[in-house]
């Protein structure tokens, strides 16, 4: 198997595992807490990461991103799926299922596919190499949000295992 594909698979799983580890320390009474009325709660951040992995998997399978005219409906479907997740257990199940979708999608790529440049139709492009690694990177970015929210309720613990 191609090294770039294997690395993308590894980082997707490691990103998920690190996120789920730290998220497991969010107390049940803080799942829907937010520092301001318009801020995302820990559960909403987690639901976003879990749901979005299915989007990344589909983009990898399609070898394209949503067309500009499809973006509003795409965003609404994603946000509706995020709002539908209401428990830690459901979020973890969806996260694991959608990470598996990423792994399965990565398995469809040939070494040549990893070099594709994807045109968004919106004035920007992304390499397939970037898209391949996005699930792991995305989980890591949002893990920082969870860590920050934990400090807001004075949880100063550094979780390493």
Q: Does the structure show a pLDDT above 70 at 1?
A: no
pLDDT, tens only, 68-119: 999 999 999 999 999 999 999 999 999 999 999 999 999 999 999 999 999 9
When divided into structural domains, the chain yields a total of 1
Check if the beta carbon of residue 22 is closer than 8 Å to that of residue 146.
yes
Domain holding 34, by residue range, is 3-152
* Average pLDDT of the residues in 2-29: 96
User: Is residue 14 in a domain?
Assistant: yes
Q: Which position has the token pair 């509706």?
A: 80
Q: Which of 142, 141, 137 is nearest to 44 (CA)?
A: 142
- What percent of the chain clears pLDDT 90, i.e. is strictly above it? 91
What's 117's domain CATH number? 1.20.120.450
Dist CA 152 CA 32 (whole Å): 13
Dist CA 72 CA 19 (whole Å): 28
> pTM value?
0.94
Within 10 Å of residue 19's Cβ, how many Cβ atoms? 25
């Amino acid at each position: 198997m191609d090294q770039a594909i294997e690395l993308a698979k590894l980082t997707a799983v490691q990103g998920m595992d690190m996120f789920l580890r730290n998220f497991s320390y969010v107390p049940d009474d803080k799942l829907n807490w937010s520092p301001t009325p318009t801020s995302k709660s820990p559960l909403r951040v987690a639901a976003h990461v879990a749901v979005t992995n299915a989007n990344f998997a589909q983009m990898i399978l399609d070898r394209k991103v949503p067309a500009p005219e499809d973006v509003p409906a795409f965003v609404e479907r994603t946000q509706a799926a995020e709002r539908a997740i209401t428990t830690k257990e459901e979020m973890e199940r969806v996260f694991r299922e959608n990470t598996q979708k990423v792994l399965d999608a990565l398995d469809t790529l040939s070494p040549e596919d990893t070099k594709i440049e994807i045109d968004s139709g919106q004035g920007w492009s992304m390499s397939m190499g970037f898209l391949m690694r996005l699930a792991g990177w995305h989980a890591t970015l949002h893990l920082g949000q969870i860590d920050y929210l934990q400090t807001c309720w004075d949880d100063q613990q550094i979780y390493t295992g």
